[in-house]
Amino acid sequence: MTYFADVGALARKDLLLELRARDTLPAMLLFVVSTLVVFHFVLPAESSDLAATGLLWVALLFTALLGLSRSFAAEREQGVIDGLVLAPSDRSAIWLGKALSILAFLGLAEVIALPAYALFFRPVDAGLVGGVVLADVGIAAVGTLLAAMATASRARELLLPLLFLPLAIPIVIGGVGASVSGEPARYLGLLGLYDALFAIICWASFEYVVTE
């Protein structure tokens, strides 16, 4: 239980930091809404729903990338990661706490983004919502690990997209498939499998990312 108490303390700290600094979530909200507005005017009126759904996933993916690029900013700028690493708690708790806070930010961004998508393009169905929820889990799991890796590098702004986007391809395939397919269960299963597999890999390997 102490493990989950550590995770809770770390996730709560991230939410409190965001509540005080307000430097990640507002940017994510502004980005996703403005992207959907731009796509609304870019797409020709006779465009299919399929194209609109694809653009929604592009917007969600880059919104997530924006949030991930800021996710370890406090730890990097103030060197606090050393303090967290020195604590006797399991280092994977740092990953899980951070992933949960990123998941919360993504969820909040999508609470605004999905109604905006429904307003500009087409109604949102259960397959799309299910796909977005499962995609968020995978994005948070993989993105947190990669953001921690990138944060140690001087070229972090360049490195994070280069590492994250290739690994996000299965998420996009699963998410778009669940959104447009007549049988979303197959794609939701793919996303669930991706989430489980990568969550275990990221959980187990985080310690090696934050220690030399």
Partner 1 sequence: MIHARALEKRYGDKRILRGVSLDVGTEDFLLVTGPNGSGKTTLLRLCAGLAAPSRGELSVGVERGRLGYLGHEPLVYRELTAHENLDLYGRLYRIAERRERTGMLLERFGLWDARHARAGSFSRGMLQRLALCRTLLHEPSLLLLDEPYSGLDDEGERLLDRELAERVARATFVVATHEPERLEQFASARLALA
Of the two residues 75 and 195, which places its CB atom closer to partner 1 in the complex? 75
The region of 58-66, 74-82, 102-110, 190-198 touching partner 1 under the rule CB under 8 A is: 74-82
Task: To the nearest 10°, report the CA torsion of 102, 104, 106, 110.
Answer: 180
Could you tell me the smallest distance in angstroms from the CB atom of residue 95 to partner 1?
14
Q: Which residue has the tokens 């929820």?
A: 133
User: Whole-number minimum distance, CB 81 to partner 1, in Å?
Assistant: 9
Q: Which residues of 12-21 are buried (b: 16+ CB within 10 A; e: fewer)?
A: ebbeebbeee
The stretch near partner 1 (CB under 8 A) out of 29-37, 60-68, 72-80, 146-154 is 72-80
Subset of residues 11 to 40 that bind partner 1, contact rule: CB under 8 A: 13, 16-17, 20-21
Shortest distance, position 77 Cβ to partner 1, whole Å: 8
Q: Is 1 in the site for partner 1 (CB under 8 A)?
A: no
9 counts as binding partner 1 under rule CB under 8 A = yes
- Whichever of 117 and 203 has its CB closer to partner 1, that residue is 203
User: What is the closest distance, in whole angstroms, from the C-beta atom of residue 153 to partner 1 in the complex?
Assistant: 14
Query: Is the alpha carbon torsion for 169, 170, 172, 177 positive or negative?
Result: positive
User: For the window 75-104, what string marks contact with partner 1 as x by the rule CB under 8 A?
Assistant: ---xxx-xxxxxxxx---------------
Q: Cβ distance 151 to 76 under 8 Å?
A: yes
Which residue lies nearer to partner 1 by CB, 12 or 186? 12
Tell me: does residue 212 bind partner 1 (CB under 8 A): yes
Least Å distance between CB 109 and partner 1? Answer: 21
- Measured in degrees and rounded to the nearest 5, phi and psi for residue 200 equal -65, -45
Buried-exposed string 136-168: b where 16+ CB fall within 10 A, e elsewhere: bbbbbbbbbbbbbbbbeeeebeebbbebbeebb
Whole-angstrom Cα distance, residue 79 to residue 94? 14
Give the span between the Cα atoms of 63 and 61, in whole angstroms: 5
- Site residues for partner 1 per CB under 8 A: 2, 5-6, 9-10, 13, 16-17, 20-21, 74, 78-80, 82-89, 211-212
